[in-house]
Amino acid sequence: MYEGMKCLLPSTLFVLALASSCASLRPPTSGPDQDFLQALEAEERGDCTMAAEFYHRAAQAGHAPAMNNLGLLHFEGRGVQKSYSEAACWYGESAQLGFAKAQANLAVMKYFGLGTPCDAQEAGILLMLAHSQGHEQAGYSMAMFNLGPDSTPLMASQSAEQPMRITVLND
């Protein structure tokens, strides 16, 4: 009986090694990415309270998109108490990690002084950072708010040779 088990032992170890390597190919069952996905699903179902819990867990683990989305829930008061200062805080955390959507969201809050001191210069810088990462709406916001990174007024100009562009006025 011992002889037969000797032959099975290497093949059993191979199967166990194969099973453990395949386990790493499965999607994560826990962690910030999985919490973020569960939050998105909960939000899609309309359960914003549960979404906020999952976003919060992912955000505390450093997940920038979760921080941004948690800020949005606070901004709108969905699933959590409406709080512009809490929204600005979460947008700020995400923006510091370089998340373009959060940079644009925080810029709007800073421009209007919602939950954070009004600061058009900082808003301009944040919008430029977001726009440099490909966030198109940030560029539109800069034009709409008529601001640049140094808070100087901007003017949209257009000619037949060039598409719409933004120029700084030095008054």
Q: Which residue has the tokens 């002889």?
A: 3
Specify whether the CB–CB gap between 40 and 68 falls below 8 A: no
Q: How many CB atoms lie within 10 A of CB 21?
A: 9
Instruction: Convert the pLDDT of each residue in 128-169 to its tens digit.
Output: 999 899 888 887 787 777 655 554 444 333 333 333 333 333
Q: Which two tokens stand for residue 138?
A: 């940030």
Instruction: Convert the pLDDT of each residue in 67-79 to its tens digit.
Output: 999 999 999 999 9
Residue 65: partners with Cβ closer than 8 Å, 6 or more residues away = 36, 94, 99, 101
Domains of the chain are 30-168 (1.25.40.10)
> Please, what is the angle between helix 84-96 and helix 100-112, to 10°?
140
Single pTM value for the model:
0.69
Q: How many CB atoms lie within 10 A of CB 127?
A: 30
pLDDT (0 to 100) of residue 147: 57
